[in-house]
Every structure is written in structure tokens, then in C-alpha cells.
Amino acid sequence: MIKKVLIANRGEIAVRIVRACAEMGIRSVAIYTEPDRYALHLKRADESYSLGADPLAGYLDPLRLVNLALETGCDAIHPGYGFLSENAEFARLCEEAGVIFIGPKSTVIHSMGDKTQARDSMRAAGVPITPGSDGNLKDIDEALTLAEEIGYPVMIKATSGGGGRGIRRCDSATELRQQYPRVISEATKAFGSADVFMEKCIVNPRHIEVQILADSQGDVIHLYERDCSIQRRNQKLIEIAPSPSLTPEQREYIGGLAVRAAEAVGYENAGTVEFLLTGNEVYFMEMNTRVQVEHTITEQITGVDIVREQLRIASGLPLSYRQEDISYRGFALQFRINAEDPKNDFLPSFGRISHYYAPGGPGVRVDTAIYTGYDIPPYFDSMCMKLICWALTWEEVIARGRRALDDMRLRGVKTTGTYYQQILNHPDFQRGEFDTSFVPSHPELLNYSEKALPKEIALALAAAIAAHAGL
């Protein structure tokens, strides 16, 4: 069994991993750069080590992290999500150094990170993929010819892309000529590779993903699906488990496809297989070879501790569950509470949190690393907390989500919390009738006003009275 884990991450996911380690009697080692010197994950871990003043360099240096793991006596590294979590070179360095990488093998990360290889693997396994290029595009002329064959709109994607970056939709040959060099430029800067490929654009699909677990004995199970259709510019905002729109037959079919996909590539540990659903047609989109931000809602409906299973699998132990042991109960929502101003084109809103009160009560979970007085640094992702709500029925989880968002107090920065309340109040969302076009199709939901707190109203009145007295 793993004895000591270096957590190659920060923020709420680092806190989440520390908690799982503590419950399993595993020592945890946190890392940080100067902007994170007062971060919560340092206070919760058993040990912590500085990576220097540069905000990002330390978190993105695989060789340094592997050496630090060896120096501190760690026998494993958990990459979390983001940063180096899907970096095949990082996993390879761990393997060569004899440090357990808590995730799949480096060869699997590489093959699934290369989107064209992933498409080839899925095609061979009988998993449906969207029409598109058989490999990387050679030039704009090939792209134009293929687009005419499969029909517009099409998507140009970075072969090594992820996180919603390196993707452009093209509705015509003119747009394709404009966007093609832009995707290549973005892919080169973000991923170090100019390779791009093309897929038919599935217009307004539902974005459905399936959580899988696989052990070193070759057993693979799925933990049902999540609906991630509520998104903006390919960035997820609200996630739902299970999807309120799937039939039992669709659920069984998509879960089976995810297991087949994992088996086809010899997958090991936790992962997510993402699909696009339009009508009864299902298409493979990509595989995320790490724990997902939204793993929390799968835990809520199944009762399975996914991070605990990651640690067990990495220790060489078999899965704690068989497929027939897995069932789900109720519905769960996850709200990504981002430090952004929705009314100002979602501009990041970094700074000091002057007041923070976490919502609670039945069926409410908060995963975060913030606290009153914490300074949200401008160098990282804008997500400052995840609010998770569970209830037995779809109607009840919406009501609980509204109540929990109303309970939450996070002042000093702008957040997306009030905007999410507008989404929950929309009749289409309440009926479960939405797809990836929901957010861009409803700009009117941004026409809200922030509700002032009683304390804030009192302070404003006091200031007004004082000003009047001074006159």
C-alpha cells in the first residue's frame, strides 16, 4: 500500500487528495509557489515544500517534482487535474524513477492525449466517432476539401488540445481559411504542437461523460454519467449526475461504450470518457486520463469515493466494487463558483475575500481552499470553490441548489453564483430540456441584479446618515 504521496497540485483538489490520504493513513506532502504561501492545502497536508517565487514554473516542472518526491521519501505522486495531470512525460519520469504515478501509464496518456490516435483507437474498438479526418491535416487545402465532403459546420481542433483550448468552429470555407492558422498558432503556444485535425461539428448536442474505474487486474467498471451541457465557450459551468434526459437504454448503452473504450487502450485508474449525444446518436469526443473537476457529483449519487479508489488502484489493489455493485440514487448538481464577473463578459475578478460563509444543510457539500481574508491570485484558474447539492428528485435538487446558492456568502470578488440562480430558474432547465447551446442562447439571464445583504444595507444607510450629518 502507498505510504506517502506528493500532491503535484494546489487549491481545492489538493485539499481533496489530502483528505483522502488522511482517511487511509497515508502521509501527504504539499507543494507551493510564493503566491500560495498561505494556501489552505499547506495547512492540511502533513508536510509542505516551496517551489520558489515564480507562480507557475514549479507546478509545471516534472523533473523537479519527481526529484522532490524522492527527496521527501514519497512512493507516489498524485497529479490532480490541470497542470501536469495529463502529461505523458511526467508519468514516464515517475515510472523511470520508481515513483508510482496515480493515474494511467504514460503510453496510455500519450495515446489518449493525441486526439487522432484516440479516434483511431475508438474506431478499432467499435466506439462511434464523429466523421472527420483520419489523421492530422496536412494543410489548408486538405482541410477545405474534407470540409466540403463531410459538410459544414466543422470543428478544427488541436491534436494535443484540452480544456476547451485549440478549438474553432467554422461554418463556411471563408471561416475555415481564417480560423485554420489561428488554431495552429494557439495549439503551438499552448501545447507545443502545430498538429490539428477536423471533425464534423455536431450542432447543439448534449455533452455526456462517463466516469470509469479500472484496476491493474484488467477489471473496468463505470459509475454512470454526468451531463456537462451547461457550458460557455467549451468551459463547463454546472454539471449534473445523472443526466435528467437519458433513457435507461441510453444510459446502459453509453456506460457500456465507456467501458469498451477503457478496455481497448488498457486503461488503469480513474478516467472519464466524453461523448456528444444528439437524438439517439452517440459520438466519442475524448478521454480524460485523470480525475475530473466534477467527480464530486458522481460520488454523491453512487457513494463511491473516487480518490480513495485511485489510491487503492495505484497500490496494486483490485477494485472495491464490481459493476453489479454500482447503483445510483437521486440527482446531484455541481456549481463551479468562479471568481468572474458574468455581467462583464465573465472577466476574472481576483483579489481578497472580505467575507466567506459556506452553505450547508442536508445534501450540501463544498470543496474549496478559500477562507475569509484569502487573496485569490491572478496566476491560476478562476474557480474558487465547488458547490455540490444532492437530493432524491430532480425538482428537489434544483430547489436545494437555489437555497444553497442563496446561503453562500462570498464577498470581495465578483462570482458566478447569482448567475447560476438565473439558470436554475429557467423553465427549460427545470424541465431538463437543454444542450450545449443553452448558455449562448439565453443572454437575457445576465440581466440580473445582485441582492444586497442586510448588513450591507445597514452599512450603506449608516454611511448616508453620516454624510448627511456632516453637511
How much is the pLDDT for 450?
80
Asked if the model's pLDDT at residue 141 lies above 50, the reply is: yes
What's the whole-number mean pLDDT along residues 411-415?
96
pLDDT digits (tens, 9 = 90+) for 150-209: 999 999 999 887 667 789 999 999 999 999 999 999 999 888 889 999 999 999 999 999
Q: In the chain, how many H helices and how many E strands? A: 16, 22
Class of domain 131-200: alpha beta
pLDDT at 457: 52
pLDDT digits (tens, 9 = 90+) for 1-51: 999 999 999 999 999 999 999 999 999 999 999 999 999 999 999 999 999
Return the axis-axis angle of helices 62-71 and 88-97, rounded to nearest 10°.
Answer: 30
Question: Residue 464: pLDDT above 70?
Answer: no
Residue type, 46: D
Cα distances from 326 to residues 73, 321, 323, 395, 469, in angstroms, run 36, 7, 5, 24, 67
Q: pLDDT tens-digit profile of 313-349? A: 999 999 999 999 999 999 999 999 999 999 999 999 9
Using the predicted structure, report yes or no on whether residue 424 has a pLDDT greater than 50: yes
Q: For residue 225, list its beta bridge partners.
A: 210
Task: Tell me the pLDDT tens digit for each residue of 84-96.
Answer: 999 999 999 999 9
pTM assigned to the model: 0.91
Q: What CATH architecture does domain 4-102 belong to? A: 3-Layer(aba) Sandwich (3.40)
- 452 secondary structure, DSSP code: P
pLDDT of residue 160: 83
Sign of CA pseudo-dihedral 297, 299, 300, 302: positive
Mean pLDDT of 342-360: 96
Mean pLDDT of the chain: 94
> Strands 196-200 and 165-170, how do they pair?
unpaired
**Catalytic residue (one of 168, 290, 336, 365):** 290
Strand order in the sheet with 47-50: 47-50, 27-32, 4-7, 76-78, 100-101
Q: Is 290 a catalytic residue?
A: yes
* φ, ψ of residue 204 in degrees (nearest 5): 50, 55
What are the domain boundaries of the chain?
Answer: 4-102, 131-200, 206-446
Q: What residues have CB less than 8 Å from 281, skipping those under 6 apart?
A: 128
Whether the Cβ atoms of residue 451 and residue 378 lie closer than 8 Å to each other: no
Q: Which whole number is the average pLDDT over 359-385?
A: 96
Q: How far apart are the C-alpha atoms of 41 and 373, rounded to whole Å?
A: 15
Domain 206-446: which CATH number of 3.30.470.20, 3.90.600.10, 3.40.50.150, 3.30.70.360? 3.30.470.20
Alpha helices, DSSP H, located in 227-358:
248-264, 295-302, 306-314
3-state DSSP assignment of residue 431: coil
With CA atoms as reference, report the closest residue to 154 among 133, 138, 139.
Answer: 133
Question: Greater confidence, 469 or 96?
Answer: 96
Q: What is the pLDDT of residues 247-290, one digit of tens each?
A: 999 999 999 999 999 999 999 999 999 999 999 999 999 999 99
pLDDT at 471 over 50: no
Q: Work out the angle at residue 344's Cα, subtended by the Cα atoms of residues 342 and 346, and round it to the nearest 5 degrees.
A: 45
pLDDT of residue 468: 58
